[in-house]
Structure 1
Amino acid sequence: MRATTAPRPRSAPRRTAVVLTLLLAALVPTAAVPAGAAGRAPDPLGVNASGSTGVVTGSAGCPSGPLTDTRQLTGGAALNPGVFSSLASQLDVSLPFRVGAASAALPGDGQVVLSNARGSLTLALTAGSCTSPGLTYNGTTVSGSGTWSVVPNSTPGNAYRGASGTGSFTVTSDATTGTGRLWSLNLTGNLSILQPQVAVTQRAYWGGIGNYVTRTLSVEFRIRNTGPGDAFGVELTDALPTGPGTTRLGPVPQTVGAIPAGGSAPVVVRYRVCGLAVVGCRFTAATRTFLTDALDANGHTETVPVSVQVPLAPVP
């Protein structure tokens, strides 16, 4: 019968290599990404605006048909927070009404611009045509309804780039040439804007011998926006650990702010970990991030589990 041989002791160089491998694994940032961004419902748009300082200029109208004159209205109105995102915003109109007899039209070249500190969104307004007017005109006032659609925009840095949408409008405006003209506009419809998406990486560190002795671990969670749309109102609401011997110290929640598409922001959360044994100590943190889109709509929380390997030594 062959004698059983005892396992050979692991050599010192090999033990060192194992320790170094574990240490390097703890220092390399790891990432976790949710299964994918869920489709978001379109955001409703509802804007009522009016002004008393509109400017109307006159020029030639359609080359043929009953609409012989143009009455170009330009004006603006401030929008309160909550109308177009949570920010104070501005609505500007440029509406070249074609008028004549008892009818008028906006044959596809009327524009409304909604803007705030994040960017701007341009809508094209249409009501009838030169040969088939869609608005009424009594010699002084234009009124009626039509449709709008988003003018495509891909300007970098504009939070409303890539938006799409359609809807309807109603308008009433003094169309006599001059300044100080009264006008009112109502817009309703739906917008689809580019959506953000959360991914999370982590870097765990002790931050000094004192924290190592007390087993107070700092974890820098880097919240990344991997979606095509900018994220706003970002907040890390929790990063609860699972695993034996790990307690979250905080702080949570933490306000992050805005993260543009492709950008990231760091958030540090501290944990009490491991007790006496550091080798092989790890845990999973369920990060919960709240965010909204550029309209401060579709607010939702994304949960991303992140695996954290506890470093072996009190190095930065």
Structure 2
Amino acid sequence: MTAPRARSAVRRAVVVLIALLMWMASAAAPAGAVGREAVARRAPDAVTVSGSSAAGVVTSAPGCPSGPLDATRQLTGGTALTPGVFSSLASQLSVDLPFRVGGAQAALPGSEARVALTNARGTLALALTAGDCTSPTLSYDGTRVSGSGTWTVVPDAAPANAYRGASGGGSFTVTSDVTPGTGRQWTLNLTGNVTLLQPQVAVTQRAFWGGVGNYLTRTLSVEYRIRNTGAGDAFGVRLVDAPPTGSGITRLGPVPQTVGAIPAGGSAPVVVRYRVCAIAVIGCRFTATTQTFLTDALDANGHTETVPVAVRVPVTPFP
């Protein structure tokens, strides 16, 4: 028999065998499965940011309507933050601080003083407070303002901002030359905690052979679709592993696999290959214990969510 005829005979035999297996297994074929793990309560993210610049701009304006703080020294400026200070990304610290000054005292009204922490994921805005027009708590020596106060997160619900829905607060210290002009030196230190919307993992699967050759060698591909069903965006997502349970199943890999970021409501596919049951085995199936690592938008609360996913081995090599 020539080689083409031999290959044709093999194909016919495979088709006959597939038809027989489909008839025998049709009543036992299980439905696809969806895995999900409930979100554990996550700790607030610690925020510790220090920034300074010698390029601040100070403008002058009228002060409080009454009392000793008779002038405003509006400080604006910004400075770069290295990766690891505010998330793993390079970021920017921007300040817009209207110091009320007079005599030897100063204040920062919380309704107006703003600080922004910004990176490619979005912006976390903070409102700073240090006394008010009637009860100043900062020191002023005619040139420089210094002292401490508190901050709270300014609410933001913009969908594109990964820091949307954040809450929290803390304390700050500030020192600034508030002489009107440019090239003014300032230093700001922030400490506290922020609670972010958290991501959550759900996993679905689609098993396929990808051709007759893989079917004959029993090399099954499983596409795990990692879904973020939480309210917060997920970052640093990585499929750590997806080991199978069940006899005659061997994980081939590759694992681990880097996925990246998955926004709330989004998903990303990851394919893992397995060596599975022999062709003659009817109703072959197994459970893969998917293990997905992820963090929130501040690259904190890193954890691994374990989600069992039921996989049914397709009877035929065709979609």
Give matches, 1:111-260, under 5 Å. Answer: 111-260=114-263
Amino acid at match of 1:267: V
1:54, 1:306 → 2: CA distance? 55
**2:6 — aligned with what?**
none
2:57, 2:275 → 1: CA distance? 66
TM-score by structure 1 length? Answer: 0.92
Measured after TM superposition, the shift of residue 21 of structure 1 is 5.2
Measured after TM superposition, the shift of residue 231 of structure 1 is 0.4
Give matches, 1:1-316, under 5 Å. Answer: 19-20=25-26, 22=28, 25=30, 29-34=32-37, 36-108=38-110, 109-316=112-319
Measured after TM superposition, the shift of residue 278 of structure 1 is 3.7
> Matched residue of 2:264: which SS?
coil
CA contact under 8 A between 2:32 and 2:310: conserved in structure 1? no
CA contact under 8 A between 1:278 and 1:312: conserved in structure 2? no
Measured after TM superposition, the shift of residue 107 of structure 1 is 1.3
2:286, 2:109 → 1: CA distance? 63
> Matched residue of 2:108: which SS?
strand
2:22, 2:118 → 1: CA distance? 61
2:280, 2:232 → 1: CA distance? 44
1:217, 1:16 → 2: CA distance? 17
Measured after TM superposition, the shift of residue 279 of structure 1 is 1.9
1:202, 1:260 → 2: CA distance? 19
Partner deviation per Cα, 1:31-60 (whole Å, 9 max, x = no partner): 1111x1000011111011000000000000
2:22, 2:250 → 1: CA distance? 30
In structure 2, stretches of 5+ residues that fail to align are: 1-20
Partner deviation per Cα, 1:155-177 (whole Å, 9 max, x = no partner): 01110000001100000000100
1:52, 1:29 → 2: CA distance? 61
Amino acid at match of 1:48: S
1:165, 1:260 → 2: CA distance? 22
Amino acid at match of 1:304: V
Measured after TM superposition, the shift of residue 277 of structure 1 is 2.7
Amino acid at match of 1:247: T
> Matched residue of 1:107: which SS?
coil
Partner deviation per Cα, 1:267-316 (whole Å, 9 max, x = no partner): 00000001233421100000000111100011111110100011111112
1:300, 1:166 → 2: CA distance? 24
1:185, 1:255 → 2: CA distance? 36
Measured after TM superposition, the shift of residue 18 of structure 1 is 6.9
**1:9 — aligned with what?**
none
> Matched residue of 1:275: which SS?
coil
1:154, 1:246 → 2: CA distance? 47
Amino acid at match of 2:159: P
1:21, 1:148 → 2: CA distance? 64
In structure 1, stretches of 5+ residues that fail to align are: 1-14
CA contact under 8 A between 1:278 and 1:311: conserved in structure 2? no
In angstroms, what is the RMSD of aligned CA positions? Answer: 1.3
CA contact under 8 A between 1:230 and 1:258: conserved in structure 2? yes
CA contact under 8 A between 2:237 and 2:293: conserved in structure 1? yes
CA contact under 8 A between 1:30 and 1:203: conserved in structure 2? no
2:184, 2:50 → 1: CA distance? 17
CA contact under 8 A between 1:52 and 1:183: conserved in structure 2? yes
TM-score by structure 2 length? Answer: 0.91
